[in-house]
Amino acid sequence: MSLLLTAAHDYRIVAVSDDFVASVGVARDALVGRSVLDALAGRHATHGQTMDKLRASLDRVVATGRRDVMEMQRYDLASQGDSVERQWWPVNAPVLGDDGALAFIVHRVEDATPLVRAQHAEADERAARVAVREGLQAVDILESITEGFFALDHDWRFTYVNHEAQRILDSTREDLLGKSILDVYPTLAGTEFERQFRRGLDERHAATFTAWYAEQQSWYEVHSFPSPTGISVYLRDVTAARDAEAEREALIAESERQRRMYEAALSNTPDLVYVFDRAHRFIYANEALLAMWGRTRDEALGLTCLELGYEPWHAAMHDREIEEVVATRRPIRGEVPFTGTNGRRIYDYIFAPVIGEGGDVVAVAGTTRDVTERQQVEQSIQEQAAQLKEADRAKDEFLATLAHELRNPLAPLRNGIYLLRRKGGVDASVARVHDMMQRQVDHLVRLVDDLLETSRISRGALALRTEPVDIATIVRNAVETSRPLIDAGRHALRIVLPEDPVEVSGDPVRIAQILSNLLNNAATYTPPGGHVDLVVAHGEDGVAITVADDGAGIARDDLPRIFAMFRRGETSPSGQSGLGIGLALSRKLAELHGGTLDAASDGLGRGSTFTLRLPAVALAAPLDEPASAAAFAFTDPVDLRETRMATGTGDGAAQRVLVVDDNRDAADSLGMVLRMLGAHVAVVSDGPSALEAFDAHAPEVVLLDIGMPGMDGYEVARVIRARDPSRRTALVALTGWGQDTDRRRARDAGFDHHLVKPADMGDLQRLLTTLRDGAPAS
């Protein structure tokens, strides 16, 4: 029997079941709309207490949202002017609306009067028959409910067990009725079940509790009520619900733990972390961002950038970026200045989409980092790089200027030495002085050339003229260049070449330069009378050229740094140690050829070995098998450079040569050399004089300096070309400026050839012979 009540404070009846109407003998219209407390009020003295208990139970349902089972209540029904005593078990259950709130309360009562009467021994036969009949009806009710129900007498014996209780207790009625619950389930002893059941039996106390029964590994929700014969117990298995609740609570706890963890991380990072909603409002901001704003979370959240005081252009920019992230579903990054509590700073930021379960962008998350110091460091690095670049440029300019200034005095020295050596009738001692002067001037020229070559390589301005070249030819050229220094040290030079020709792909001049540097190094750091070996071997991997000596050697700690720029060894036995450029230049030239240059030494005083490896064009023999049968040695001092210079003819009488140089010594000495070779020579020292001499003498060749004051060589060349459009006169730049840009400028000004001071006499003589014979300009 049940009533449906409102959840309001007066608990009005909104619906009544038919069996309830029949039981109370009151018309439905007389019940619906009335407060249940008024409608059920009777005349019996106990009714007031019953209504108080009913209100308390209903109030508990409203407060907890959970079902409340009342103790058995006495209620007298009116029948033909008399009242009939009834015993009811009321249960009040909540009914929730769609929004989850309490909407109604179902007040359900079970008529326990038949059971009570059946348990009264003094009941008369008529009452017993009624009790049996009504008891059977109550049994039907108890069997139909979805909760387990059993009754215990004062001796803890089962007196009734419904079907659901049998399922829950995993026993049959036959196994339970008449037996003590503590005998059937001894593990109940000491549990909450025993304690509450004992209170019901001994203290007549009703109880509602939830407890764990270990033997069945289940949670049970139990309602126990005292009855005249003992206690009645309703129970249901709530294990699944408890597990679900425990899981939910665990998820909530884990979520809260992670939230606290993430919040701790986000609150302690110096980066700014935040989230925008789709309306561009901040819905999250970490502590760093709040500190930068100088606001609390309550003051900041829910506001847009503009409302937080961002400059309008700044706020508008972020609005556009948020919309772009939402539209493209891709992150966006930027950098922006902002003035906050830390002053004006530069910030790097990124906005990223937050994708919801449906795949839509539900928010935009962002992080921002203060990059002010980083930008300052980058700016400092850029400034330092610019300063280094400027210093490097200034260094190159200095080296070029230094080379030019050194070449100017070297030119007359080389010319003078040439004249002295060409003059006959000198005794042996004077000849040795000439040789010494020649070697020292050549050494100075090599130092100047090395300085410029190093600068050009470091700037990437050196271009190789690669071609297949014979190794033997390169070796002979290198030996020819280094021979004076080797002979000056009275060293024995041994050269080992393969029997078959071996070619490499490279620039013959540069490879010879590498070998010459290695030979010079060996000659310089080997005591007089030492030994120098140059051995060429080839194999499948390429060509290896080894230059070894028995000289000063290299300390083990110095080996890793031997190829560093300006790294010099200890003073050589000859007293010359150079500028520390040759080895560094040689390794760079080797690398430009795709090769390597390495050094080895067993230590000081134990000699050195340098190995140059180059890719080969034609290979035949293993790399470690030099053809000793082809070995030869230069043991007698021979001036190969002088021999090469003498190969030119001396009948240059038909040539008219104009020498133009503001360095009078260089101009006059060169004029003397040319006259010795038989040329008709005119010498002037400035541009205007050069043009006058050109008109007066009609020279076939003009050897023209570039860096003259006033009218420089470029301008003189352009004027001459304007006066001589048929180019009958060959213009040769003879200058201390020898870099690639200088050569290009000379060509653009009309020069046919470019020689760097001090000019090699052999090169100059061959050039004049070529021009006399009418060969085309190169």
| Stretch 754-775: mean pLDDT | 82
CB-CB contact of 752 with 730 (8 Å): yes
Regarding predicted confidence, which is higher, 131 or 226?
226
Stretch (H or E) spanning 77: strand 73-79
Segment 146-163, tens digit of pLDDT: 788 899 999 999 988 998
- 284 and 361 in a common domain: yes
Task: Give yes or no: residues 7 and 90 share one domain.
Answer: yes
Listed residue (285, 312, 294, 264) closest to 366, CA to CA: 285
Q: Give the integer Cα–Cα distance in Å for 309 and 758.
A: 74
**Within-domain flag for 287:** yes
Q: What is the per-residue pLDDT for 354?
A: 93
CATH assignment of the domain containing 682: 3.40.50.2300
The stretch 79-91 carries a mean pLDDT of 69
Taking residues 315-323, report their average pLDDT: 95
Residues with Cβ < 8 Å from 282, sequence gap 6 or more?
274, 275, 276, 300, 301, 302, 303, 304, 308
Higher pLDDT, 147 or 688: 688
3-state helix, strand, coil in the chain (%, to 5): 45, 25, 30
Q: Are residues 616 and 517 in the same domain?
A: yes
In a shared domain, residues 445 and 428? yes
- Asked which of 174-183, 260-269, 590-599 is least confident by mean pLDDT, the reply is 260-269
- Distance CA(493)–CA(473), nearest Å, equals 17
* pLDDT of residue 638 exceeding 90: no
**Beta strands, E only, 395-491:** 467-470
Q: How confident is the model at residue 118 (pLDDT cuts 50, 70, 90)?
A: low
The confidence band for 358, taking pLDDT boundaries of 50, 70 and 90, is confident
The pLDDT of residue 629 is: 29
Check pLDDT > 80 for residue 684: yes
Same structural domain, 39 and 90? yes
pLDDT at residue 13 tops 60: yes
pLDDT of residue 425: 62
pLDDT, one tens digit per residue, over 554-608 is 888 888 888 876 555 554 455 445 556 778 888 888 998 899 999 999 888 889 9
The answer to whether residue 133 scores a pLDDT higher than 60 is: no
pLDDT computed for residue 132 by the predictor: 46
Read off the pLDDT band of 83 (50, 70, 90).
low
* Pairing relationship of beta strands 102-111 and 218-227 according to DSSP bridges: unpaired
Contacting residues for 36 by C-beta, under 8 A, at least 6 apart:
3, 5, 11, 12, 13, 54, 58, 107
Q: Has residue 125 been placed in a domain?
A: no
Residue 364 located in a structural domain: yes
Joined together, the tokens standing for residue 101 give: 């709130």
Q: CA 580 to CA 575: how far, in whole Å?
A: 14
Residue 390 binned pLDDT confidence (cut-offs 50, 70, 90): confident
Task: Output the domain CATH number for residue 511.
Answer: 3.30.565.10
Lowest-pLDDT choice from 153-162, 186-195, 259-268, 311-320: 259-268
Which structural domain range is residue 696 located in?
400-462+647-778
Mean pLDDT, the chain, integer: 80
| 633 and 670 assigned to the same domain | no
Looking at residue 774, its amino acid is G
- Please indicate, yes or no, whether residues 524 and 630 belong to a single structural domain of this protein: yes
Assess whether 469 and 568 both reside in one domain: yes
Give the pLDDT mean for 418-446: 70
Judge whether residue 21 has pLDDT over 70.
yes
Distance CA 522, CA 610 (A): 9
Question: Once rounded to an integer, what is the mean pLDDT over residues 437-463?
Answer: 68
Confidence grade of residue 75 (pLDDT, cut at 50, 70, 90): confident
**What does the pLDDT average to over 636-641?**
30
Between 627 and 681, the higher pLDDT residue = 681
| Cis peptide bond N-terminal to 776, omega within 30 | no
Residue 116 domain flag: no
> For the residues of 395-415, what is the DSSP string, one character each?
HHHHHHHHHHHHHHHHHHHHH
pLDDT band at 34 (very low <50, low <70, confident <90, very high): confident
Q: Are 39 and 27 in contact (CB under 8 A)?
A: no
Beta bridge partners of 108: 2, 91
Q: Lowest mean pLDDT: which of 192-196, 415-419, 722-726, 769-773?
A: 415-419
* 376 in any annotated domain: no
pLDDT of residue 11: 86
pLDDT value of residue 462: 67
HSE-up of residue 452 (Cα within 13 Å, Cβ side): 21
Q: How many CA atoms lie within 13 A of 462 on its CB side?
A: 22
Q: Which of 132-141, 484-493, 502-511, 753-762 has the lowest mean pLDDT?
A: 132-141
Q: What is the pLDDT of residue 714?
A: 94
Q: Is the pLDDT of residue 314 over 60?
A: yes
Comparing CA positions, the residue from 433, 427, 501 lying closest to residue 468 is 501
Task: Please check whether residues 347 and 366 belong to one and the same domain.
Answer: yes
**pLDDT given at position 409:** 77
What confidence score (pLDDT) does residue 624 get? 39
Examine the fold and report which residue of 111, 136, 161 is the final residue of a domain before the chain moves on.
Answer: 111
Taking 70 as the threshold, does the pLDDT of residue 382 lie above it? yes
Check whether 315 has a pLDDT greater than 90: yes
Asked whether the predicted pLDDT for residue 293 surpasses 70, the reply is yes
| Cα separation, 738 vs 755, whole angstroms | 8
CATH code where residue 197 lies: 3.30.450.20
The total of structural domains in the chain comes to 5
Q: Are residues 675 and 595 in the same domain?
A: no
Are both 556 and 419 inside the same structural domain?
no
% residues pLDDT > 90 (the chain): 29
User: What tokens were used for 105?
Assistant: 């309360």
In the structure, what pLDDT confidence band is assigned to residue 5 with cuts at 50, 70 and 90? confident
Q: For residue 749, what pLDDT is reported?
A: 92
What is the model's pLDDT at position 45? 47
Question: Which pLDDT score, from 0 to 100, does residue 650 have?
Answer: 45
Residue 653 clears pLDDT 90, i.e. is over it: no
Tell me if 682 is assigned to some domain. yes
Q: Is the residue at 624 inside a domain?
A: yes
Q: How many CA atoms lie within 13 A of 10 on its CB side?
A: 9
pLDDT of 649: 39
pLDDT digits (tens, 9 = 90+) for 455-486: 666 666 666 778 888 889 999 988 988 888 89
Identify the pLDDT of residue 634: 28
In angstroms, the CA 681 to CA 677 distance is 10
Question: Whose CA is closest to 660, among 709, 704, 718?
Answer: 704
Joined tokens for residue 365 = 């998350």
Q: Among residues 370, 389, 409, which one ends one of the domains?
A: 370
Q: Are residues 498 and 579 in the same domain?
A: yes
Give the span between the Cα atoms of 173 and 65, in whole angstroms. Answer: 35
501/359 Cα distance (integer angstroms): 75
Q: Is residue 515 part of a domain?
A: yes
Print the SS3 string covering 684-719: ECCHHHHHHHHHHHCCCEEEECCCCCCCCHHHHHHH
